[in-house]
Amino acid sequence: MNIDEQFESFLAELGVEMEQPEERYCNGDAIPEVSIFQASRDHYGVFYRLDIIDHKPELRIMIPADKGNTKMDIYLVRLSNQLPLNTSFTNMALYEGSAAFEHGREATLQHLLYAVAEMMKQLFWAGDLQYMHFPKEIEVYPLLVQDKIPNKKNR
């Protein structure tokens, strides 16, 4: 059982059923090439998960919530296809460099991911979370949101 299945099982025990995200923006079976967890320095109780999946950076933002069994909201942030940074990760993955480059490839990817994630975080916090309006350079998808997803009859 992978970590996503374990988390879904944990939530089910609490009586929470996760919505299944559309395949177009979330592939739960993809294995991250690089994965980093960090606590926010600027937002109390917020945690970030940074991943490179399918040669693209992904940022998951876990925000404390006052309601719901999990007491947290989770958002997936991706770069817009308008930004050329998406192709940078693909180009880095395809590049076959010297032995010295290959030796430092993973550390290089981690540093690149940190830098891009900092930009993604700034763009996320510059947006309007209540109305899900964000700068055009990012795409934001709610993965687990307490009391903010309208019920089906209001959609």
pLDDT tens for 71-105 read 899 999 999 988 888 788 888 888 998 999 999 98
Q: Is the pLDDT of residue 118 over 90?
A: yes
The model's pLDDT over 48-70, given as tens digits with 9 standing for 90+, comes to 999 988 888 999 999 999 888 88
**Does the structure show a pLDDT above 80 at 139?**
yes
Q: Give the integer Cα–Cα distance in Å for 18 and 12.
A: 8
Place of tokens 């019920």: 151
Sheet hosting strand 47-53, strand order edge to edge: 34-39, 47-53, 56-64, 72-79, 138-144
Surface-to-core class of residue 62, CB atoms within 10 Å of its CB (0-12 exposed, 13-18 middle, 19+ buried)? buried
Q: Is-above-0.85 flag for pTM?
A: no
Name the residue type at position 51: D
The DSSP bridge partners found for residue 38 are: 48
- Cβ-contact 14, 21 below 8 angstroms: no
The Cα 52–Cα 28 span in angstroms is: 13
Comparison of pLDDT for 103 and 7, the residue scoring more: 103
Contact status, residue 143 vs residue 26, Cβ threshold 8 Å: yes
